């Protein structure tokens, strides 16, 4: 007598039938599928033993069910992305979720190098200086009315230029005659002393420190022989071709101040009325 050859599940004979052998015994095809086959995450049907099965993140699919949820393209042999548990081909993912390059208008593909600034996105090779057209990459740049400039191009195009050396002022600087100057360029025309933050005056548009201006151009006091400069509200008295500081304009004999008083010239000296009438 021959030994029984039955399905391990339904116990029906397997003689003359297709079966599948497992470690726990032989199974007829229906019992095998019901016992061991996975359920397709898309159609919820069993994935039979003779079907090509695809597996992704604990989910199983028929080959025909593993497709883009938007365009229904098969993803069996295509690159894809999972977004909120939905499978998307690269084209649909890019169309729905990827940024558009602000320069060329093309999609910035996932994983590609990109730059983002002010809510906009660029391919790395599209983010160029508006002046020299060189890629900005990780370099410092300056935005200006929708354009972007590398620092050298921005300085050459927009930064103020020193009235003396014509080079750009990148920081600091001073204003003289409504023009920008480097602090180190604003110096006395006579002695080259820096004038930034110091009191100074000018002659024929050239700046001079107080000392040089007094020595070169200011009239000399007929009494103390020092320059008479009008800075700080300084006052002086002039008579014919002679000049005096207010503090120096006094009677040569009694030293009485003659400012606002009558006086009498006596050679190189000036006298008050009293000393003049007193005689020599």
pLDDT, tens only, 199-234: 888 888 889 988 888 888 878 888 888 887 765 446
Residue 153 domain flag: no
Give percent above pLDDT 90 in the chain.
7
Confidence band, pLDDT 50/70/90 cuts, at residue 192 = very high
Q: How many other C-beta atoms lie within 10 A of the C-beta of residue 98? A: 18
pLDDT at 47: 85
Q: Is residue 130 part of a domain?
A: no
Is 91 contained in some domain? yes
How far apart are the C-alpha atoms of 229 and 202, rounded to whole Å?
12
Domain total in the chain: 2
User: Residue 171: inside a domain, yes or no?
Assistant: no
What is the per-residue pLDDT across 24-82, written as a single tens digit (0 to 9) for each?
A: 889 999 998 888 889 998 888 888 888 888 888 888 998 888 889 888 888 888 888 78
Rounded mean pLDDT, 182-204: 88
Last residue of a domain, one of 40, 65, 95: 95
Q: What is the pTM of this model?
A: 0.38
- In a domain? residue 83: yes
Residue 219 inside a domain? The answer is no
Domain boundary among 95, 122, 155: 95
Assign residue 55 the CATH number of its domain: 2.10.110.10
**141: in domain:** no
Domain membership flag for residue 173: no
User: Can you point out the beta strands (E) in the chain?
Assistant: 19-22, 25-28, 53-56, 59-62, 80-83, 86-89, 114-117, 120-123, 141-144, 147-150, 174-176, 179-181, 200-203, 206-209, 236-239, 242-245, 263-266, 269-272
CB atoms within 10 A of CB 43: 12
Query: Could you tell me the residue range of the domain that residue 57 belongs to?
Result: 19-95
Q: What is the pLDDT of residue 233?
A: 47
CA distance 116 to 109: 14
Q: pLDDT above 70 covers what percent of the chain?
A: 96
* Structural domain ending residue among the three candidates 76, 95, 114: 95
Query: According to the model, what pLDDT value does residue 17 have?
Result: 87
């Amino acid at each position: 007598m021959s030994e029984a050859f039955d399905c391990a599940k339904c116990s029906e004979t397997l003689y003359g039938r297709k079966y599948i052998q497992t470690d726990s015994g032989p199974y007829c095809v229906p019992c095998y599928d019901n016992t061991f086959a996975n359920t397709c995450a898309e159609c919820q049907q069993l994935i039979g033993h003779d079907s090509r099965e695809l597996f992704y993140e604990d989910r199983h699919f028929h080959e025909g069910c593993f497709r883009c949820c938007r365009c229904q393209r098969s993803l069996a042999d295509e690159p894809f992305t999972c977004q909120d548990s939905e499978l998307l081909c690269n084209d649909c993912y890019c169309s729905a979720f990827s940024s558009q390059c602000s320069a060329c208008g093309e999609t910035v593909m996932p994983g590609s190098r990109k730059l983002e600034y002010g809510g906009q996105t660029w391919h790395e090779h599209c983010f160029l200086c508006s002046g020299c057209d060189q890629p900005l990459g990780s370099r410092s740049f300056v935005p200006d009315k929708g354009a972007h400039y590398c620092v050298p191009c921005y300085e050459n195009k927009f930064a103020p230029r020193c009235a003396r050396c014509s080079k750009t002022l990148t920081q600091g600087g001073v204003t003289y005659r409504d023009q920008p100057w480097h602090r180190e360029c604003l110096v006395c025309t006579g002695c080259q002393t820096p004038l930034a933050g110091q009191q100074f005056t000018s002659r024929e548009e050239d700046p001079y420190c107080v000392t040089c201006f007094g020595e070169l151009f200011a009239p000399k006091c007929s009494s103390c022989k020092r320059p008479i400069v009008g800075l700080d509200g300084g006052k002086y008295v002039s008579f014919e071709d002679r000049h005096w500081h207010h503090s120096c304009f006094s009677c040569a004999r009694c030293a009485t101040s003659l400012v606002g008083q009558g006086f009498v010239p006596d050679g190189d000296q000036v006298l008050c009325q009293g000393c003049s009438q007193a005689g020599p």
